[in-house]
Chain A
Amino acid sequence: MTRTLLTGNAVAAWGARLADVDYVPAFPITPQTEIIELLSRWSAEGQLAARVVMLESEHSMITAAGAAAATGARVFTATSSQGLLYGMEMLYTVAGWRVPLVMVNVSRGLAAPITLEPDHNDIMAARDSGFLQIHCANCQEVLDSVLMAYRLSEHAEVRLPVIVNLDGFYLSFTREPVELPEPTDAAAFVGAFAPGQAPLRAGHPTAHAVAVLGGGPYSYFRYESHLAALRAAEVYDQVAAEFDATFGRHHPAVEAYRADDAEVLLVMLGSFATKAREAVDRLREAGRRVGLLRPRLYRPFPAEAFRAAAAGRSAVAVIDQNLSLGFGGVLYGELASALAGMAPPPRALLSFVGGLGGRDISLEELFEIARVAGEAGESGQAPPPRLLYTRAELREMRKLQAVAHVARTAEDA
């Protein structure tokens, strides 16, 4: 199989192309724009039999995506950051329509202050919407996840939209060698979209997305969406097994890297987790029993897989690339709830927050996190959550504040 150097963005577009999508409503935003540029070029050149339409906002884009999916079209769309937030109302709405579609989100930190580089606060804001979430760590995964996402989304017992998340810059603009499957193989894996009963047709009016009054009917629909999202965990495992059998690449709901005999487990989401893989390799060379857990599937939350993986460990250190202001790391909070009451629990659960707005997490920091976690495991005492920040970064910040004429305080002197 030949491998081609492609950016995460180009690969996302290839995923849509190989899934043979019919309709791509689009709106550009850095760092996602390359995806829709490629799709519109392919559409214009006849290599993609899809209608690519530029909408006037993400709000309309997501509305159009859901409406087209209701007609039985296979839909792909993509956004990022502020765009995802701008379309947030329709994100929740479209998920409630129970229509399948795949949206790529290219993660980027949120305003204010506005920035370009990635963290996961944008995608975390969508976690309760009903969209399922798959998070990618490298470019190959982006392709494979888009193909798998259609299977998951269109499954008769799931029928929920799926977001495939990739990190801006670290994946979106980064080229890695990628195996592109033969179009016929990809088409055979994804299959034809069977919209089921009564797709929306102009000549056959039906009422979709009806209003309900009263908590009973409302609760029924909400509960059903929740149960479908939970059911998606099993469907995901089946789809992943079939993908592995077809293409020889296994993408479990939770990647466990050198975790079998690990005393300390690092937990990370997205492309920065490959840095943790590197750190684990170096730590293993130094005789430290450290491993990595990386959820690929984030909604539904793979709580069972985490409980099984965390049982009896000395320490689990969660490194969140997001920050729920006034709470802390989101993944840490969710993991704590998943592990609550389990026996035997890890002796210490630690929280670190870093990588906001593309801020690097160095190997040395990961080594230090593993060391601190190891100590916490021995003592059974987890230190308070740490916001990763160095003295050098603070010094740089003070310099910027001086240029901005921000009033100095006594501690600066």
Chain B
Amino acid sequence: MKTASRMLGNAFLLEGFEVQDAPRYGAERRGAPIFAYVRASGQPINERGIIRRPDLVVVADDTLVGIPAAGVMDGIVEGTVLLIDSAEGEVVWRRRLNAPGPILSLPLPTATNTSAQLLLGAASVGAAAQLLGVISKASLEAGIRDELVDLKPDAVEDNVAAALEAFERMTPHRGLVAEGAAASADAYSPPDWVELTTEVGARAAPVIETPLTSLQVRTGLWRLLRPVIDYDRCNRCSWICASFCPDNAIRVRDDGAPEIDYEHCKGCMICVMQCPPHAIDTVPEREAREKEREGAHP
């Protein structure tokens, strides 16, 4: 998403806008949810940080919608356009979200030479550019090429193609995103400030008073790739995969076989690299979930 925000920022700059783009992340881990903000204006931009009233929200990972802490729906008002990259259509999302503004769904790109994750960013930017209505196809393409200058030529072409396809797909909605009104210093809701009081020192210390609260954080949702053990090939040297797992997400069963805790496996694939008999397969998470929905076990 950081790369996507920069592609869009580049395209805006080429169209003569003032631009600000910035990623925002918490956990510094691959696969952790990430936000990126893009602002564009005809005037110098003074606001910075979180966009409190976005005109367009693009959701590249539809599993984040259901996680309250991700705050995907924060600040969405009547005029906000919501674009979700999803295998599910707009009707489903409209019913699910009860959002006040327009919702559009962008079908997921199919990977060719390049990974689907990378293409997803470019496709999102292509769709966003069309919805914004102020970015030409040429600026979109140039903005993407500028950003991907270090990629192999094939991958660049795949990304440009994915973006242009999404751009075309959104043609009926060109210019759907309108610039929101500036905040008013006359009619604003005053902040609900609270007076903090002195609390008992031990209570006000940054201490987690109980073990295993990290179990409640389902970091398995961060996973883009799923390691799947082929037990026919597994030779039960479980201490290898279990010890290398940086998240303690592989336990050794009583029968000596390893078992992956998918609630907490972040999909780093270190176990795949370490497995001596190459018994751990790599399955894109989305495919694995679709199979699960069809009743198959991982």
* A interface residue numbers (CB < 8 A to B): 3, 5, 30, 112-113, 116, 169-170, 173-177, 271-272, 274-275, 277-279, 281-283, 285-286, 288, 358, 360, 362-365, 367-368, 370-371, 386-394, 401, 403-407, 409, 411
Q: List 7 A-B contacts (CB under 8 A).
A: A5-B6, A177-B18, A177-B19, A368-B190, A390-B193, A391-B193, A392-B192
- Does residue B208 face the partner (Cβ distance < 8 Å to A)? yes
Given contacts A175-B22, A277-B46, 11 further A-B contacts (CB under 8 A): A174-B22, A176-B20, A286-B184, A362-B191, A364-B183, A368-B193, A387-B196, A390-B193, A394-B194, A406-B207, A409-B199
**Which residues of A sit under 8 angstroms from B48, Cβ to Cβ?**
170, 174, 271-272, 274-275
Give the distance to chain B from A242, nearest Cβ to Cβ, in Å: 24
Of the stretches B156-164, B209-217, B258-266, the one at the interface is B209-217
Q: Report the bound CA distance from A367 to B182 in whole Å.
A: 13
Find out whether the CB atom of B206 lies under 8 angstroms from the CB atom of A113. Answer: yes
Find out whether the CB atom of B188 lies under 8 angstroms from the CB atom of A363. Answer: yes
How many B residues have CB within 8 A of the partner chain? 44
**Which residues of B sit under 8 angstroms from A386, Cβ to Cβ?**
193
Rank and list the top 7 A-B pairs by shortest CB-CB distance, nearest first: A405-B210, A174-B22, A278-B46, A286-B185, A113-B206, A405-B209, A404-B208
Q: Report the bound CA distance from A10 to B5 in whole Å.
A: 17
Number of A-B residue pairs with CB-CB distance less than 8 Å in the complex they form: 126
Give the distance to chain B from A384, nearest Cβ to Cβ, in Å: 10
**Which chain A residue shows the least CB distance to B36?**
A173
Find out whether the CB atom of A364 lies under 8 angstroms from the CB atom of B188. Answer: yes
With A5-B9, A392-B192 already in contact, the answer to whether A404 and B47 are too (CB < 8 A) is no
Find out whether the CB atom of A112 lies under 8 angstroms from the CB atom of B190. Answer: no
Find out whether the CB atom of B196 lies under 8 angstroms from the CB atom of A3. Answer: no
- Does residue B294 face the partner (Cβ distance < 8 Å to A)? no
Q: Report the bound CA distance from A365 to B19 in whole Å.
A: 25
Q: Report the bound CA distance from A224 to B18 in whole Å.
A: 45
- Does residue B21 face the partner (Cβ distance < 8 Å to A)? yes
B20, B45, B191, B197 — most chain A CB neighbours (10 Å): B191
B49, B184, B203, B216 — most chain A CB neighbours (10 Å): B49
- Does residue B50 face the partner (Cβ distance < 8 Å to A)? yes
**Which chain B residue shows the least CB distance to A401?**
B203
**Which residues of B sit under 8 angstroms from A271, Cβ to Cβ?**
48
B18, B52, B183 — most chain A CB neighbours (10 Å): B183
- Does residue B24 face the partner (Cβ distance < 8 Å to A)? yes
Q: Report the bound CA distance from A396 to B28 in whole Å.
A: 22
**Which residues of A sit under 8 angstroms from B189, Cβ to Cβ?**
364
Set B24, B188, B192: member contacting A391, Cβ < 8 A: B192
Set B19, B50, B207, B216: member contacting A403, Cβ < 8 A: B216
**Which residues of B sit under 8 angstroms from A170, Cβ to Cβ?**
22, 48-49
Set A173, A278, A358: member contacting B23, Cβ < 8 A: A173
Set B20, B185, B216: member contacting A282, Cβ < 8 A: B185
Give the distance to chain A from B170, nearest Cβ to Cβ, in Å: 24
**Which residues of A sit under 8 angstroms from B213, Cβ to Cβ?**
403-405
Find out whether the CB atom of B196 lies under 8 angstroms from the CB atom of A389. Answer: yes
**Which chain A residue shows the least CB distance to B197?**
A411
Q: Report the bound CA distance from A406 to B207 in whole Å.
A: 8
Q: Report the bound CA distance from A409 to B197 in whole Å.
A: 12
Find out whether the CB atom of B192 lies under 8 angstroms from the CB atom of A282. Answer: no
Find out whether the CB atom of A367 lies under 8 angstroms from the CB atom of B188. Answer: yes
Give the distance to chain B from A164, nearest Cβ to Cβ, in Å: 18
Find out whether the CB atom of B22 lies under 8 angstroms from the CB atom of A173. Answer: yes
B195-227 CB contacts (< 8 Å) to partner A = 196-197, 199-200, 203, 206-210, 213, 216
Q: Report the bound CA distance from A365 to B24 in whole Å.
A: 22
Set B52, B184, B197: member contacting A362, Cβ < 8 A: B52
A275, A363, A368, A392 — most chain B CB neighbours (10 Å): A363
Find out whether the CB atom of B49 lies under 8 angstroms from the CB atom of A405. Answer: no
Find out whether the CB atom of B19 lies under 8 angstroms from the CB atom of A391. Answer: no
Find out whether the CB atom of A367 lies under 8 angstroms from the CB atom of B203. Answer: no
Find out whether the CB atom of B22 lies under 8 angstroms from the CB atom of A275. Answer: no
**Which residues of A sit under 8 angstroms from B193, Cβ to Cβ?**
368, 386, 388-391
Find out whether the CB atom of B194 lies under 8 angstroms from the CB atom of A406. Answer: no
Q: Report the bound CA distance from A363 to B20 in whole Å.
A: 18
Give the distance to chain B from A287, nearest Cβ to Cβ, in Å: 8
Set B191, B197, B200: member contacting A364, Cβ < 8 A: B191
**Which chain A residue shows the least CB distance to B217?**
A403
Give the distance to chain A from B16, nearest Cβ to Cβ, in Å: 11
Give the distance to chain B from A257, nearest Cβ to Cβ, in Å: 10
**Which residues of A sit under 8 angstroms from B28, Cβ to Cβ?**
30, 116
B1-37 CB contacts (< 8 Å) to partner A = 6, 9-10, 13, 18-24, 26, 28
B33-65 CB contacts (< 8 Å) to partner A = 45-50, 52
Q: Report the bound CA distance from A387 to B193 in whole Å.
A: 9
Set A272, A283, A409: member contacting B185, Cβ < 8 A: A283
**Which residues of B sit under 8 angstroms from A403, Cβ to Cβ?**
213, 216
